[in-house]
Amino acid sequence: MKRSLTLFIFAFGLAVSGVAEPPELSPRDQTIRQIMMTPEFMLERDYESAENNIREVLRGSPKNILALQQLAHLLVVRGREEEAVPVREKVKSLYPKASLPERCYIDITTYPFPKGKESKLQPAEVREMADKNPDDYLANYVAGLYFNNLPDAELTCLYLERAVKLAPWLGQAHNLLGYTYTYLRRYDKAVSHLREYARIYPDRANPHDSLGESYFMTGRYDESITEFQAALAINPSFTAARLHLIDAYQAKGQYTPAKQQALKIWEKAESDDQKVVALAFLSEIFRHRGDLAHARSKAEAILALKPESNAGFFQLGMALWQMGRWDELQQVLDRWAVILNRKSHQNSSGKKWSSSDYDFLLAKLNASLGNFNTAIELFQKINTQILIPHQSIDVKHELAEAFFAMGDSKTTLGTLNQILEINPNYVPSLSLRARLYASKSKPDLAKKDAKRCLDILRDADRSSPQYVEVINLYNQLQKR
């Protein structure tokens, strides 16, 4: 699992059970390893272990600025803001005499400064810091974090590779390199680093979740399922891995096991927010299965719990869209717009409200009503806001659907090929390309894509709309 590069991504190792031991380290390095174990606990929401770990560090090094920074963040995450205040003050008092890598790290994290993640340092200064200290793993690691925030993938890899060469035990450096190389489509390097991350932490769940995500984004669904299951075997309470497992099952059309996983989240939910997550996934799963009445009821249950929930409005809108109830969908969008507009006025920044989920739903409605230019404009707006190509596949596919409906075969094919270069097993785009080839009297190419869909969906629920559409297309092509 990847998280935003705030304080808790500073996570490496600790000489405890479940952590592979590196060669003998200096006392400074041993302290840093222990500090950097805290975020590993936090990624899996084991906040008690995280706090115990960081307080142990501070008993031996009460003025360690990195440990204090982590403690401040952890206390806020645990809802103990008042306790975090004096810790933040200690960080501020130590900041002027901290090393440049430490100050850079403090600058790019949320706390203790209220300005967010914007660093006071300029890119040239950070590069100089790392380049003048090629043997300092901390300087290079922090430089990697800094450039990941910009984002600059090449410089991120440059400095993190330098860091892990100096200190191979830097677990989160391997983790971040795994994601970054995935985004750069250097998949062998990505897998290599994520496997090393798992070797460093053999008894932690997050390395398996990260490797599973890399596999999932590249269409290696069976391998991703294996990794997500491994993560859950280690930590059954690791909700992020369970959500990723649901996504992987759905990508293969296996909605029954996906539903079982979503129900486990529902059964363990302790807050309304957790219930919303479970209900949103259940609504999506029912919709993909073609059970639209249940999809709608789950979405309405979200809004009963949280009347202003974006997830509730989105899932309800998607259910109504699939049911073809355009008037009701427009009413949902109107209600949602009122809430978003009110929240915008409450925002001190004065910026006009924006919601990619709202825009996505509005674009779907416009495409269904034949307003293709408006739909395309909205989908393109969303697409430009997504920096990582692997995360824009769904939106790009909707663009392809709109271009296809307009009769623009060339742009449709170009868009579909872009998607399938990233994820060659993305069934919606494979199916649409098969339909496109069939419409252009290219039955062999159409059959090839349809057959590939069926291979991916070999264990799918046979009654789902997606499977029915693909098998009917394949059977029609077989008759030609």
pLDDT band of 175, cuts 50, 70, 90: very high
pLDDT at 12: 30
Q: Determine the Cα–Cα distance for residues 407 and 436; give it in Å rounded to an integer.
A: 10
Taking residues 331-359, what's their average pLDDT?
81
DSSP 44: T
- Residue 76's nearest CA partner among 102, 50, 58 is 50
pLDDT at 107: 84
pLDDT at 274: 95
pLDDT at 425: 98
- Residue 157's nearest CA partner among 145, 170, 139 is 145
Taking residues 277-297, what's their average pLDDT?
98
pLDDT at 112: 38
Q: Determine the Cα–Cα distance for residues 112 and 208; give it in Å rounded to an integer.
A: 32
- Residue 465's nearest CA partner among 365, 346, 272, 323 is 323
Residue indicated by tokens 């410089």: 155
Q: Determine the Cα–Cα distance for residues 163 and 465; give it in Å rounded to an integer.
A: 49
Per-residue pLDDT at 3 exceeds 60: no
pLDDT at 114: 38
Question: Can you tell me whether residue 150 is helix, strand or coil?
Answer: coil
Taking residues 376-387, what's their average pLDDT?
95
Q: Which amino acid is residue 468, in one-letter code?
A: V
Higher pLDDT, 389 or 348: 389
CB 390 within 8 A of CB 424: no
The first and second tokens of residue 56, run together, are: 């142990």
Across the chain, mean pLDDT equals 90
CB 172 within 8 A of CB 12: yes
pLDDT at 353: 55
Per-residue pLDDT at 17 exceeds 70: no
pLDDT at 227: 98
Q: Where are the beta strands (DSSP E) in 42-123?
A: none
Question: Can you tell me whether residue 317 is helix, strand or coil?
Answer: helix
Q: Determine the Cα–Cα distance for residues 71 and 106; give it in Å rounded to an integer.
A: 13
pLDDT at 115: 40
pLDDT at 149: 86
Q: What is the pLDDT of residues 113-171, one digit of tens each?
A: 334 445 577 899 999 999 999 999 999 999 999 999 888 999 999 999 999 999 999 99
Q: What is the pLDDT of residues 26-62, one digit of tens each?
A: 888 999 888 888 888 998 889 999 999 999 999 999 9
The first and second tokens of residue 222, run together, are: 């069976």
The first and second tokens of residue 227, run together, are: 């990794």
pLDDT at 64: 95
CB 232 within 8 A of CB 245: yes
